[in-house]
Amino acid sequence: MSEGPQASSKPKMGVLTWALWGAALVGVAAVVYIIGQASSNPDRPKVATVPIAGPPAFASKVTTPTQPTSPPDLAFTDAAGKSVRIADFKGKVVVMNIWATWCGPCKVEMPTLAKLQAAYAGKGVEVMPISIDEANKAQQAALFIAQNAPLKFYLDGAMKLPFKLNPPAVGTPTTVIYGKDGLEVARVTGDADWSSPEAKALIDKALAAS
């Protein structure tokens, strides 16, 4: 009978061991950031993917700068290969979205950015999804944007823009809203529902500002 307690303890230890392994795996999965390792250029900067946000309301993801700053004086290209700067759109509310084809959350939110652009067509709002994919992925990125009309395609193939922001972007997607005066008024890190009433209220506020 002395073997009884030992025998009964073995399955308990087995369950505990598997539980600990399971918890460890869940913990690892929860903190994984998908880095842009798909790049074939080891010298290229890396930008982390911000995990899909889930339930929290749009307003909880919005941060506003204590001191509004201008956009970086940095050129990127449009679909025709023409150099473009955010400052070229001064006088409009600009919703600048930094994304990449290897960023899952970026693709999740893109249709809602398309809906936002459609809702404000002709109303002084420019939604600008800027891909930070390498040049060899530009066609793939352009095709994805074409599936999300009326958005237009922009490319920062050198991936400089995220690091030139003040403060720099901490991951993708990052969306920065610039007012009509060209200064940053709000920022969202991570995916968001840009077709939500809260998002539209934020845009309306920026439009109403002088």
Which CATH fold topology does 58-208 show?
Glutaredoxin (3.40.30)
pTM: 0.75
**Which of 123, 64, 131 is closest to 96 using CA atoms?**
131
Per-residue pLDDT at 56:
55
Per-residue pLDDT at 37:
38
Per-residue pLDDT at 186:
96
Confidence at 2, pLDDT banded by 50, 70, 90:
very low
Q: What is the pLDDT of residues 9-31, one digit of tens each?
A: 444 434 334 343 444 443 433 33
Position 79 pLDDT exceeds 60: yes
Per-residue pLDDT at 59:
83
Position 123 pLDDT exceeds 70: yes
Q: In what order do the strands lie in the sheet with 93-99?
A: 62-63, 184-189, 174-178, 93-99, 125-131, 154-155, 76-78, 83-84
Report the chain's mean pLDDT, rounded to a whole number: 81
Per-residue pLDDT at 58:
84
DSSP the chain: -THHHHHHHHHHHHHHHHHHHHHHHHHHHHH---BSTT-S-TTS---BBPPP--SS-GGGGEE--SS--PPP---EEETTS-EE-GGGGBTBEEEEEEE-TT-HHHHHHHHHHHHHHHHTTTTTEEEEEEE---GGGHHHHHHHHHTTTT---EE-TT--HHHHSSSPP-SBSEEEEE-TTS-EEEEEES---TTSHHHHHHHHHHHH--
Could you tell me what percent of the chain has a pLDDT over 90? 68
Neighbours of 123 (CB within 10 A): 11
Confidence at 60, pLDDT banded by 50, 70, 90:
confident
Per-residue pLDDT at 107:
97
What's the Cα-to-Cα distance from 176 to each of 51, 105, 129, 164, 183, rounded to whole Å?
18, 16, 11, 13, 10
Give me the mean pLDDT over the 83-93 stretch. 96
Give me the mean pLDDT over the 74-86 stretch. 96
Position 42 pLDDT exceeds 80: no
Confidence at 65, pLDDT banded by 50, 70, 90:
very high
The identity of residue 8, as a single letter, is S
- The residue ranking higher by pLDDT, 130 or 14, is 130
Measured at the CA of 131, the angle between CA 87 and CA 80, to 5 degrees, comes to 70
